[in-house]
Amino acid sequence: MSTSTTAIALAQALGPVRRALVKATRAAGDLPDLSEAQIEVLRLLVGHGVLSSTEIATRLGLARPTVSNLLKSMSGLQLIDRTASEGDLRSTLVGASPRARVLLARYDRVSADILDEALGRLDPDTRDALSGCAAALTQLTAALSSVP
Tell me what pLDDT residue 90 has: 73
Between CA 53 and CA 68 the distance in angstroms is 7
Instruction: Sketch the domain layout of the chain as residue ranges.
Output: 20-145
The fold adopted by the segment(s) 20-145 is: Arc Repressor Mutant, subunit A (1.10.10)
147: helix, coil or strand?
coil
Buried b (16+ CB within 10 A) or exposed e, 121-143: eeeeeeeeeeeeeeeeeeeeeee
pLDDT confidence tier of residue 67, bands split at 50, 70 and 90: very high
Phi then psi dihedrals of residue 53, to 5 deg: -65, -30
Tell me what pLDDT residue 45 has: 98
Q: What is the mean pLDDT of the chain?
A: 91
For the segment 68-125, what is each residue's pLDDT rounded down to a tens digit?
A: 999 999 999 999 999 987 877 678 899 999 999 999 999 999 999 999 999 999 999 9
Cβ(62)–Cβ(37) below 8 Å = yes
DSSP 58-86: HHHT--HHHHHHHHHHHHHTT-EEEEE-S
Between CA 68 and CA 70 the distance in angstroms is 5
88: helix, coil or strand?
coil
pLDDT confidence tier of residue 27, bands split at 50, 70 and 90: very high
Tell me what pLDDT residue 73 has: 95
Tell me what pLDDT residue 75 has: 95
Tell me what pLDDT residue 132 has: 84
Tell me what pLDDT residue 2 has: 65
Sign of CA dihedral 122, 128, 129, 134: positive
Tell me what pLDDT residue 80 has: 97
Determine how β-strand 80-84 pairs with β-strand 92-96: antiparallel
Tell me what pLDDT residue 1 has: 61
